[in-house]
Structure formats: structure tokens, C-alpha cells
Chains A and B, each alone.
Chain A
Amino acid sequence: MRDRKVVAFIPGDKFPAVTITGYSCSLMCDFCRGKYLKGMTPVRKPRELYDLANRVWERGGRGLLISGGFDKYGKLPIRPYLSVIRDIKKDFDLIISIHPGFLEREVIVKLKECKVDIIDYSFAFNPLLLKYMRLNLKPEDVVKHFREWLRVGFEHVVPHILLGLRGYISRWDYEALRALLQFNPHLIVLLVFIPTKGTPLESLRPPLVKDILDYVNYANKTLQCSEISLGCMRPVEYKDSLDELLISSKLVNRVANPHKRLIEKYGLLKVEACCSVPYSCINCS
């Protein structure tokens, strides 16, 4: 049982997710096939990202999540946007999160120079997941990449663990937690596999709620100093079952986009930002 109150993170239009590759992706992972890009705001060139930042400011927004499709090496093609990100950080007090994939050190250093605040890191530790991503990476490479971000000096590198690929929680999901132990992350985000229509995995089912609860219990015991967030990628039907169980038992600290019903029932504080944003950026404790 965690003593902190559970907080609802609702990015909405105050913290929009942006795709810098439009709706296209070269990686085309088997569990996504670029479907989730369609829920993001597309920008076609750096100037459009700047204008979007201005619009976000003009609606009292908090920040931007810069994401998009990856190239075939699992990297977000961020280079053309580096200078405009620097300008945005210079001109606006917006929080910038990036979902970068597995970038090379040189670009990581540049992102640090641009004063990017948060890295949403896909902690794809499960070899099956890496296979579905068509990446020639091993679990230890994922850890190595994670360490790279920290070495460059990023304070807020938030590992995202996708649970229950193919419908069951595997030992790799548990291994991912143990691999993170050495880093003592301040926050981890848990995502739940969604069998998405139009992908090769559409006919599968999501992992069982009971198994997820066991996992989250274990995560609490393993990473005692880390906050745990239930991220926005989870089956919509779980918002009634899993969400309520996690909120009422206080097994997580944060939930992204919970039902309004649960917000009211449990009197959750609402924060209009991505669930990986640290409290130091949004000023509450």
C-alpha cells in the first residue's frame, strides 16, 4: 500500500502528443502497425512544431510529447527538429518530452543541449517484443541504451514497460523490473498489451487483470522507491476493471486518462500532463 494519493494524469490538449513523421512509420511493429500515430497531432516540418508550441501556450498548455514513427533501426528521426526544439525551450516555458527510440549517443547529447526535459524510454526488455519490433537488439542492449541517456545527464528518463505481449505476463516482464533495480528510477510507466485491430496480433487477448495485479504488487516490492504509473496504452475495457482495482488499492501512484467516474469516486487530483512528467516539473508533491 503506497501512502501517496493516486493522481490522474490527463494530457488532453494541454500536453498534446505530436508525430513528426505524420502517419508513417518504417518500423511497423506487429503490435502497432502505425495505428497509434493516428491519435497524435501531425507536424510536417520544424516550423509547424514551433507554431504548435505557440498554440499550446495560447491555450494555457503545459508541454508537448514529441513522438512519431521510427526508422527501421528503431530511432525517431529527430535531427531536423533539434534546432526548433531549442527555440521552443528558449521562447516558452513548456515541458518537452520525447519518445525517442534507440538513438545514437551524438543525438542524445544534442537533445540534452536543447534542454529536453523528459525521455519516455521504451524499456523493451522482452526478446519477443524486440522481435516484433524487428530490431536486432538484445535485452542487454536495451539496458545499455537506457544507461546512455543517464550518462549524458538526463535526470528524467522514464522506462516504459509493455506488459503481457500476446496475452500473458512473461518472465521477461519480471526480468525488466530486476534489470531496472540498478538504476533506481524515480518513476516507471506500465503499459498493457492491446490486441489492436488491423495488426497481426488482433485476435489475441490482453493479459489477465489478475496477472497484472500480481505484477504490480511485485513491482511495488522490487522498486520500492519508484513511483508507478499506469500509462495510457492499455485496453479501454480495463479502465473499468484494472484501473479501479489499482486505484482503490493504491498500487499505483499515477493513472493516465482514467474514467471520470473513478476520478469522482476516489476524488483524484487531476494533472493535465503526460503521466511521465515528474512532480518537480509540475510543482506538487
Chain B
Amino acid sequence: MSAEQTNPKPKLKLAVYWGSACGGCCVSVLDTHEKLLDIVAAADPVFWPIALDIKYKDVEAMPDQSIDLTLFNGAVRNSENKHIAELLRKKTKILVAYGSCAYMGGIPGLANFSGKSEVFERAYVETESTKNPERIFPVTEYPVKEGTLKLPEFFNDVLPLNKVVDVDYYIPGCPPQSERLIEVFTAIVSGAQLPPPGSVVGANDKTNCDECKRTKSENKTIDRFYRPWEIQDDKETCFLEQGVICMGPATRGGCGVRCVEGNSPCRGCYGPPPGASDPGAKMMSAIGTMINADKPEEIDEIIETIVDPAGLFYRFSLPGSILGRKVQ
């Protein structure tokens, strides 16, 4: 009998949790399809609200560091997200910020263009189908006849995971491509030497342009930018060369450039390439350089055609960017 058969390797304890999330990252775990059976053979999910009936109380009762690997997806939007992030940090050996939201704030991070009161005002008062003349807002504690009902506190800022707890690794993507997850998981299970803590894993070291199949030339000067519907995409030439902004040059590779294969310009969900902590700043630098004009008025005219720089260059990374949020 081999050593493995007499001493079977203990299964990894795996947790998957969502903060302010959409569920897509949990779906990406399932989209390993048949390989999920291999994952479950090597790991025991011990906390996964979408799938298992383990409650917060059960996690609190677990010994510290008893969970081997936690994939935390979703941003930190409210006090519950923060509390569970801290709880899971205590109970986990390797904590991974899984997906764009946990990594840099993701799409929910766009809320950092406003603050809590503006979001509440729009959601609960202004929306055209809402009838709320008494201006009732959700509150953290509300007494009803029978007792008190509690809700978590909605923070003013969306935060990436690393602003509330120490993060061991980042797996980027919206969601991370399932093949990348399998690679990372296999590496952990096999006991291979892991990269230094704080590394981005499950992605490669180049930008998306490296894997993109569209044709590129040396000529990258732009006379004006176009919104995707303003041109007839020839489906072959680099988007930037056609005047459509594509975040490929400032985005880490590893996703298989799927959006561009679908004839849609990259929007940067895999985050910045190595060496750049702020994806938007790098992109602005690159785009700025491409503008084909020297006179201030001509430059202004071209910049007019870039309609939403902040929302485009920081689509997935506003909370994790240098400024972090719009000034209030």
C-alpha cells in the first residue's frame, strides 16, 4: 500500500464568501464544470452562503486559522462586509481577494463618485417609481412592535478588501476566468512554492495587447476618439487605431481577451499590469500621448471626444485608485 493510501492527504478547508457582490465570482467557481469534482475531491467547502447552510455563528465557532483558503469576493460596502472580512481573516491561513471587487472595488466602486446620502436620496426618494413622501430611509436599528430589527451600516465609501484586512493574494477579473482559478487551486493543493504574499496570481505578467488577435501597427496617433457606436468596427484592426478607447494596454493579461473576441473593447477588469498600481493613471498617460495635436485648442477638441474619463479609466478600480473617491 502506498503512503498516500495509508495516510490520505487531508482535504483543504475552503471558504468562499461574498461582500458587496453580484454572485458572478461564485458562478466562476462552478464554471470549472467537470473540474469542480476535482476541486471538491481535494477541498471541503466549510463556508459558502450561496451553496451551504453554514451561518455566521458557525464561522465564529471555528478555531483561528482553521480555514486553509478563503476566496473573498465582492467589495467592502457596509459594516457586515467589514465584520465578516475581519472574522475570516482571523479564521483563515490564506486569504485571497478574489475578483475585481475585492481587488480594487469593482463596479460597485463606481458609487465612490457619490456618497451615502446621494445614493440613498436617489434609491429611496428620487427614483420615479418610488413613492416615499415621508422620506423613510433604511436604518441600522428599527424598533417594531415585536422587537428591534437591525441592518448593517452603509459606509460612505466602497473599499477594496485590502483596506480593511491584510490580503495574501489577489486573483483579478470580473469574474476571474475559471481556468485561472483551477491553475491557482492546483498550485496550492500540490504544495508548490507560492509567490510572495501580496502578489497577483491567476493572471500573467503582460498586458492584454500581448494576447489580442487584432492587427496592430506602429501608427498610434489619434485625431479624435469615437464612441463604439460611432464607427463601423472592421473587426480586425486594433480598437485604439480605429479611435475607440480600449483599456487593453493598461490591463493585465490572463482573461483570454474574451471581450475583444466578442468585438467589444476591453474595459480593464483584470486591473493594472505589474509595475503600475493605478490603471487609470497609466492609461491617461498613454492616451494623452496618442493625441495628434500640439495647439491647446486642438488638444481640447480631441479631449472633448473622451466623454467619461474617470468612469472609463477607473471602471473597475475607483476605490483602489490613488484618489480613491470623488472629493466631497
Whether A and B are associated in the same complex: the answer reads: no
Which residues of A are in contact with B by a Cβ distance under 8 Å? none
Which residues of B are in contact with A by a Cβ distance under 8 Å? none
